Chains A and B, each alone.
Chain A
């Protein structure tokens, strides 16, 4: 594991893994969404709107997964001081933020025909909105840190502190009254019929592969920017 903390070794792996993850993710997402739209039967209670499940659930999970990746990478940076861990944390922010925004938007669209409202200030929806704002703050902070050339320590601490929201989101439907249903899928068991569960798992896998591919692409972009800037600075010093 530590061997891949070397940027040269990491880039060698990422060069072939990035297009592979993105291509496999695109195929699985396209297939699972077509499955959800055209094959899955309407639900007894929710009718046709149950099809929103295949976009909404993977997005919300990956929104939370994105911040978990930020927190773990930040912890790795603070413990081992390896710059690649800080880059990995920063690279997880954009996909995490996009999936959180998609999860909120699709949840709101789903809420209108099933709950009769676009929005409800309950624990689940509010804590997800807080997660989106945390992403905005983290992105602004990590960009400022990179622009000023200071240590990413402050962004890493923000990433760790913000992780307190993840268990709150997860337990919100248990701790507080909510229009949102309680957890349907827990470790090892599911209350969802296999007709919905199987395409849902394919969609989760496909969106997760896309998430992984985007994180690798962001790491490659951020490393390339650092390498180009370092080279330009060296050239400026040599000519001065």
Chain B
């Protein structure tokens, strides 16, 4: 019987990379977009 030689750690690392990068990118984007929108509102208010 043929068996694939799969290293389980490759899959663990791949899943953690996807999860961590996806989550942290979303948090960074949400924070940056909030700061940008609030800075624009404050700038418009001062006009």
Contact = CB atoms under 8 A, between A and B. Distances in A.
Interface of A: 18, 22, 25-26, 29, 33, 37, 47-49, 51-52, 55-56, 59, 94-95, 98-99, 101-102, 105-106, 109-110, 112-113, 207, 210, 213-214, 217-218, 220-222, 224-225, 227-228, 231-232, 235
A55 B16 contact: yes
A233 B6 CA distance: 61
A37 B18 CA distance: 15
Nearest to A214: B30
Chain B: interface size category: 20 to 34
Consensus secondary structure, chain A interface = helix
Interface of B: 6, 8-9, 11-12, 14-16, 18-20, 22-23, 26-27, 30-31, 33-34, 36-38, 40-41, 44-45, 47
Given A47-B8, A207-B23, A214-B27, A110 B33 contact: no
A224 B26 contact: no
A29 B14 CA distance: 17
Contacts of A51: 12, 16
Contact of A224 (B23, B30, B41): B41
A220 B15 contact: no
A213 B15 CA distance: 23
Contact of B19 (A25, A102, A225): A102
A228 B41 contact: yes
Given A48-B9, A214-B26, A218-B33, 8 more contacts: A49-B11, A52-B16, A109-B15, A110-B15, A210-B23, A213-B27, A213-B30, A228-B44
A135 B20 CA distance: 21
Contacts of B37: 220-222, 224-225, 228
A220 B22 contact: no
Contacts of B9: 48
